[in-house]
Structure 1
Amino acid sequence: MTAIVVKDLVKEFRQYRRFSGFFGSIKSLVTREHTVLRAVDNVSFKIEKGEAVGYLGPNGAGKSTMIKMLTGILVPTSGHVRLMNTIPHKSRRENANKIGVVFGQRSQLWWDLPVMDSFELHKYVYKIPGSKFKDNLNFCVDMLRIADFINKPVRQLSLGQRMRVEIAMALLHDPEILFLDEPTIGLDVMAKDSIREFLRTVNREKKVTIMLTTHDLKDIEEICPRMVIVNNGHLVYDGAVTNLKSQLGNQRKITVEFKSNPGQINLPGTHLVFDEGRRKQFSFDRGTASVFDLLATLSNQYTVEDVSLEDADIEEVIRTLYKQLEDPLNTANNLQNVTKSLSEQVAVR
């Protein structure tokens, strides 16, 4: 079953012109001159029920605008969007019962009340049956480990504790789709690991569809097998994380520890990343150099004690993609060609 359908979606904003100076201020009051900013530009994709999808893009790419249209906050300029066979902005109440939303920078908790009071209010607003509320509450309390502070006022919680509570409350009414906007922003390593583990469990065991926007690419690697990437309002990639890594993650790194410092080494086909005397790291492309040839070259000339090999991680892959998109030649006119070079299965699945 398809959970989310987005077809040729467009969202435009009017940006009214302001004039400088005293007379310019007066003119700004009466003029209606404006430019049109297209935040989302003909984007199409589908997300099946039970999928976990990362929605990525640079700042200003249109991620938050898309989430607001999917949750019914904004009305599209044109195109179509459906969530579980409902149109979000036309059926806001019905849509609210089907989704859970967590914004990393905004809270839905009552600041001066104990956490449990916010949960009880959520139960009343969503008309959650007592047995379902109890089961879901126990599940969230156990998995997110929030029992120790569930009766504390929200204002006394740390950022990590508050974020765990936010996620718990978003799931109390058994939503079919969970939208998360920067859920791990500003959190320490332990808090991030706890939230990631919980989201993986919810997606796997409860089949909750997850759409996650984040700048922490570790979230994507651990939670979302699929990525949708946008840039300047355009869709530029829709596919598996592994596929993108195989296409753009050609860079590999080899770290070599020698018995003694061999001094400066010129290794053809590689680039020296760092030199710490006995320990050196080289980077190279898969197609231009072989690991075995590099090791053979080094071992024939020097005494090698240890070797480690690293493939490009998802951060390096996304960085490579963004650099390609920043190329002035990759304008909107030939964006389709850039997209095609990344994947043969871009846009609508």
Structure 2
Amino acid sequence: MDIAVERLVKHYRVHSRSAGARAALRSLFFRKYDTVRAVDDISFAIASGERVGFLGPNGAGKTTTLKVLAGLLAPTSGAVRVGVFTPNQRHDEFLRNIMLVTGQKNQLLWDLPPADTFELNRAVYNVSPADFASRVGELVELLDIGAVIRKPTRQLSLGERMKCEIAAALIHRPRLLFLDEPTIGLDVTMQALVRRFIRTYSESYGATVLLTSHDMDDVAAICDRVVIINHGTLSYDGDLGELVKQTRPEKRVTFTLSQSSSADVLVHFGRVIAASDRVITLQVEQARLKDLIERAFLVLPVSDLTVENAPLEEVLADVFARGRAA
């Protein structure tokens, strides 16, 4: 499903409390309100099948925007369209085509096995028995949950529960996935499996993915594009790789050495970020990268090297800081 957001505004009225007993008593009869501008005139579009990271610092307006897109809130002004639907009208067909998975809330019934929740969702979404059997079989295989779906949910590990949560949310094969911190609390192996599965599902069924996460490995593994909001306004909308190039164009080069050596011979090529007896990491401009590597192999006992972009966390921190300063 495609998404179109045009000049979305969402404001809240919040009770303004004054200090002191007399002011508190007065506020019982004469309330004052402040207006919170949670989302302030943002526009973006997402095509069917795109996987987009929806990012921003805490309080940026991400959750409010997602609630509007999911139909849980009505916009103060502006237009929002998901497929052919206006989300806050909560049309049955719209609800059958969306899903929300969050790492901090669950839909699995605690004392019953996940298979019972699957069956409940089959009835709620009116999935035929044949389609249900086929989809459960596919999800069980892809997520490797065959050994756990008959156990009570309370007996499952966090990783097992999260995989079953995802399976339960996909029984009706939704075309739009809202993912909120889908790998939070999972170990590295489980995180990789969940990320790979989400991307595979999107590619197989043309499902649109809108992901919010503080784990930038989620974003890098799942998304090709990011939309960033800060203080309720749009800061960036575009290719993830291009954002890195624009914000931190330098490269990070790490040399692994076969014997102890000093980084002093390389300092004029760039900034030394870290240095130990046998590992040296520098930040260097793209134009000087070739010269740095050639020089390092001449004067140092280099056994290995890696060239990377700046960590995505640092790139986003720079973007958020610019938003605060604006």
TM value normalised by structure 1: 0.87
Superimposed CA distance per residue, residues 181-203 of structure 1 (whole angstroms, 9 cap, x where no aligned partner): 11111111111111111111101
8 A Cα contact 2:266 2:296, kept in partner: no
Identity %: 38
1:278 to 1:114, Cα distance in 2 relative to 1, 3 A: closer
Report SS of the residue matched to 1:89: helix
1:295 to 1:242, Cα distance in 2 relative to 1, 3 A: closer
Deviation at 1:262, TM superposition (A): 3.7
Report SS of the residue matched to 1:147: coil
1:260 to 1:25, Cα distance in 2 relative to 1, 3 A: closer
For 2:290 and 2:96, the matched residues in 1 are separated by 57
The aligned counterpart of 2:26 is 27
Deviation at 1:93, TM superposition (A): 2.6
The aligned counterpart of 1:100 is 99
Superimposed CA distance per residue, residues 189-235 of structure 1 (whole angstroms, 9 cap, x where no aligned partner): 11111111111110111111111111111111111111111111111
Deviation at 1:297, TM superposition (A): 4.5
Deviation at 1:75, TM superposition (A): 0.9
Superimposed CA distance per residue, residues 40-75 of structure 1 (whole angstroms, 9 cap, x where no aligned partner): 111111111111111111111111111111111111
Deviation at 1:298, TM superposition (A): 4.6
CA RMSD of aligned residues (A): 1.9
TM value normalised by structure 2: 0.93
For 1:325 and 1:133, the matched residues in 2 are separated by 47
For 1:278 and 1:121, the matched residues in 2 are separated by 58
Amino acid at match of 1:212: L
8 A Cα contact 1:252 1:309, kept in partner: no
The aligned counterpart of 1:11 is 10
Superimposed CA distance per residue, residues 113-162 of structure 1 (whole angstroms, 9 cap, x where no aligned partner): 22111111111111111111111111111111111110122222222111
Match of 2:322 among 320, 324, 327: 324
Structure 1 unaligned segments of length 5 or more: list them: 331-349
8 A Cα contact 1:71 1:95, kept in partner: no
The aligned counterpart of 1:291 is 289
Deviation at 1:281, TM superposition (A): 2.1
Amino acid at match of 1:77: T
8 A Cα contact 1:7 1:43, kept in partner: yes
For 2:152 and 2:176, the matched residues in 1 are separated by 28
Superimposed CA distance per residue, residues 276-312 of structure 1 (whole angstroms, 9 cap, x where no aligned partner): 134322212225xx12322454556x34333514222
Superimposed CA distance per residue, residues 308-330 of structure 1 (whole angstroms, 9 cap, x where no aligned partner): 1422243332233223223x2x1
Report SS of the residue matched to 2:2: strand
Alignment of 1:113-262 (within 5 A): 113-256=112-255, 257=257, 259-262=259-262
8 A Cα contact 2:145 2:163, kept in partner: yes
8 A Cα contact 1:19 1:27, kept in partner: no
Amino acid at match of 2:87: P
Counting matched residue pairs gives 324
For 1:281 and 1:261, the matched residues in 2 are separated by 13
8 A Cα contact 2:266 2:292, kept in partner: no
